[in-house]
Amino acid sequence: MFEFDFDAKAYNKVHFIGIGGISMSGMAEILLSKGYQVSGTDNSDSHIVGHLRDLGATIYIGHSPSNIGDADLIIFTDAIAPDNIELAAARESGACVVDRASFLGSLMKNYRNSIAVSGTHGKTTTTSMIATIINNPEMNPTILLGGELDSIGGNVKLGTNEFLLTGACEYKANILKYRPSMAIILNIDEDHLDFFKSIDHITDTFREFVDNLTEKDVLIANNDDEHVRLLAGACRGSVVTIGIDSDADFMAKNISFDSLGYPSFDLYAEGSFERSLKLGVMGKHNVYNALAAIAASYSMGVDRDLILEKISSYGGVHRRLELKGFMGNIRVIDDYAHHPTEIKASLNAIRNSTDENVFCIFQPHTFTRTKILLDSFSEAFSDADRVIIADIYAARELDNGEVHSRDLAELIRRRGYEAVYLGSFDEIEEYILREASNHDTVITMGAGNIYQVGTNLLNRFSADSQKAI
């Protein structure tokens, strides 16, 4: 098993293949802060890559065997294909080569307390909620986020070796490589079916994750999720449960929504009414995320008043129901949702905030996910008035011609909803500018680059407004 000790300095030069990834870049920044020489490759430049460059990392744009140099440790991300020329050269170089998850798992061991937030949905939001609560001088945690949070200035925050907070993705069973002292399981749903064979395969993976916890560890478990509930019963460590519909250690009751879709609820902690809370983020799904963050923070011994103050002030992470701006009275929102369950939750949150038209611009993420979950996707848009389907964002896959965005648009129409396929961002933007009217909501949705449509729309509106002056 791969081991990495900050202080041992067994490695001097570390190279990241896919350094621009949200997790990879965070780990690269940690190593830079510890005095390691860091280099990395990515397909394109970005503000994240630029930040690492400013910190002293050597950055290459475009893969090449020569990029490896004399690195003695090479880390690659799941997005890198097995036949990638740089990865192939790395394996032949004689250097130690490890995948991202193995390195993160070894990194956790350098911290006295490590908190891993897992589950099919809500990882980044819940991690950022916890970050908001525990990011104080007394705890001074190191934080790795799957998104960008303004309060920590991005996706990573450097702290002491006392606390490490990170999201924990289950893809390729990566969670089995982690050994946290506190594990959070938010939910278990069908996803990543290019790797997992079934929901049972996914559940079995989470079961192994729970089995790896020791008697000293803590599990925060969603008691409303039947898969999670069953796993929690077999945990050797301490179990703290959350729930809305079932009895749990931390519960939300009497949930209501204001005109913006923000929920209020009564918090019950360990059987007693604690306080009425109002969140600054939309949707019932964020009540679950907040409960998990509260339960985790209670278990860490954080002051209760501070916990409730911070969770109430939490304003969200970028790309999670993020209000991008307004085109006059037309609201523009961006969301990372790329799974049917996430789409339903986000659109329901928006529907609770408006009676006007909701335009959902959805970019499917990967051909495999789109093909396998096609029926589920077609049923996920019931709270949208109009659905615009963009081309599939391939990510790590190649198009084998088995599924197309037109297929999804057609199936949505068969379900009785209004849907159209548009093949370019320009076409989508023209459609919105033509069809959306006062007080409508436009939401871009997906894990790819669809957020650019919202940015472009706002820029075009601003430019047109300036011309009119």
Hey, what are 429's tokens? Answer: 């933007």
What pTM did the predictor assign?
Answer: 0.84
* Contact in structure between 156 and 26 (CB atoms under 8 Å): yes
For residue 428, the model assigns a pLDDT of 96
The full set of domains in the chain, from first to last, is 13-99 (3.40.50.720), 109-313 (3.40.1190.10), 322-468 (3.90.190.20)
Does residue 130 come out as left (phi exceeding 0), alpha (psi in the -120 to 50 range) or beta?
alpha
DSSP 8-state symbol, 435: H
For residue 292, the model assigns a pLDDT of 98
Hey, what are 13's tokens? Answer: 């030069």
Residue ranges of the alpha helices (H) in 324-420? 340-351, 367-372, 374-378, 405-414
Mean local confidence (pLDDT), 30-43: 94
For residue 189, the model assigns a pLDDT of 87
For residue 469, the model assigns a pLDDT of 52
For residue 465, the model assigns a pLDDT of 62
HSE, side-chain direction, 13 A CA sphere, residue 346: 32
For residue 291, the model assigns a pLDDT of 98
**DSSP E strand stretches across 87-162:** 96-99, 113-118, 142-149, 154-157
pLDDT category at 43 given cuts 50, 70, 90 is confident
For residue 325, the model assigns a pLDDT of 92
For residue 333, the model assigns a pLDDT of 94
Burial label for 285, CB within 10 Å (0-12, 13-18, 19+), is buried
**At 450, which amino acid appears?**
I
pLDDT category at 46 given cuts 50, 70, 90 is confident
98-153: per-residue pLDDT in tens? 999 999 999 999 999 999 999 988 999 999 999 999 998 999 999 998 888 888 88
**222 C-beta neighbours (distance < 10 Å), count:** 28
User: At which residue do the structure tokens 């399981």 appear?
Assistant: 185
Q: Is the pLDDT of residue 416 over 70?
A: yes
Q: Is the pLDDT of residue 468 over 60?
A: no
- Burial call 116-147: b when 16+ CB within 10 Å, e when fewer: bbbbbbbbbbbbbbbbbbbbeeebebbbbbbb
For residue 467, the model assigns a pLDDT of 57
pLDDT category at 464 given cuts 50, 70, 90 is low
Q: Is the pLDDT of residue 1 over 80?
A: no
Contacts of 443 (CB under 8 A, 6+ apart): 332, 333, 334, 335, 346, 347, 350, 358, 359, 360, 361
**305 C-beta neighbours (distance < 10 Å), count:** 9
- 157, 205, 216: which is closest to 182 by C-alpha? 216
Q: In what order do the strands lie in the sheet with 218-222?
A: 154-157, 142-149, 163-167, 113-118, 182-185, 218-222, 238-243, 250-257, 263-269, 272-278
User: At which residue do the structure tokens 């070894």 appear?
Assistant: 106
Give the Cα separation of 179 and 237 in Å (integer).
13
CA gyration radius for the chain? 22
154-183: per-residue pLDDT in tens? 889 999 999 999 999 887 889 899 989 999
211-268: per-residue pLDDT in tens? 999 999 999 999 999 999 999 988 999 999 999 999 999 999 999 998 888 899 999 9
Mean predicted lDDT score pLDDT of the chain: 92
Share of the chain above pLDDT 90, in %: 74
User: At which residue do the structure tokens 């007394």 appear?
Assistant: 138
For residue 466, the model assigns a pLDDT of 56
* Contact in structure between 348 and 383 (CB atoms under 8 Å): yes
For residue 397, the model assigns a pLDDT of 78
Give the Cα separation of 312 and 288 in Å (integer).
14
Residue 104 backbone dihedrals phi, psi, to 5 degrees:
-60, -40
Angle formed at CA 205 by CA 448 and CA 370, multiple of 5 degrees: 30
Q: Is the pLDDT of residue 87 over 60?
A: yes
Mean local confidence (pLDDT), 385-394: 95
For residue 192, the model assigns a pLDDT of 76
**309 C-beta neighbours (distance < 10 Å), count:** 11
* Contact in structure between 293 and 130 (CB atoms under 8 Å): yes
Burial label for 233, CB within 10 Å (0-12, 13-18, 19+), is exposed
For residue 318, the model assigns a pLDDT of 80
